[in-house]
């Protein structure tokens, strides 16, 4: 089953939820504030973040950390996400621990769902 990570009041998360519901895709929503990720869950996502886009460096949550984008190695990313989970670029779409996407672009979700649900 797919998991959508985010916060319910985020507009981008709302768009992704509506898209998945309209596409009749079974998913569970995990609110980062109510059900925060563990250190090991963050480490797994950071290790899969090959594009370097797991953290939204323009977000107010990221700016609160005092780090600069250029300083973000794996250790710093973990520090940021443990302290400010809402600094994550939202939402994150996950299947069985595998990061499929973060952020929401309808075309990208179309391709991911086609590949993931119809292998």
Number of domains in the chain: 1
pTM of the model: 0.91
Q: Range of 45's domain? A: 2-117
What does the pLDDT look like over 85-119, one tens digit per residue? 999 999 999 999 999 999 999 999 999 999 987 75
3-state secondary structure the chain: CEEEEECCCCHHHHHHHHHHHHCCCCEEEEECCCCCCCHHHHHHHHHHCCCCCCECCCCHHHHHHCCCHHHCCHHHHHHHHHHCHHHECCCEEEECCEEEEECCCHHHHHHHHHHHHCC
- CATH number of the domain bearing residue 95: 3.40.30.10
What does the pLDDT look like over 16-48, one tens digit per residue? 999 999 999 999 999 999 999 999 999 999 999
């Amino acid at each position: 089953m797919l998991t959508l990570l985010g916060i319910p009041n985020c507009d981008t998360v709302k768009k992704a939820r509506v898209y998945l519901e309209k596409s009749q895709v079974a998913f569970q929503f995990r609110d980062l504030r109510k059900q925060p990720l563990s250190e090991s869950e963050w480490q797994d996502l950071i290790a899969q973040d090959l594009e370097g886009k797991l953290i939204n460096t323009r977000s107010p949550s990221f700016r609160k950390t005092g780090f600069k984008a250029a300083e973000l190695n794996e250790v710093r990313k973990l520090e940021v996400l443990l302290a400010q989970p809402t600094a994550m670029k939202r939402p994150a779409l996950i299947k069985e621990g595998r990061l499929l996407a973060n952020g929401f672009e309808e075309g990208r979700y179309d391709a991911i769902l086609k590949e993931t649900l119809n292998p």
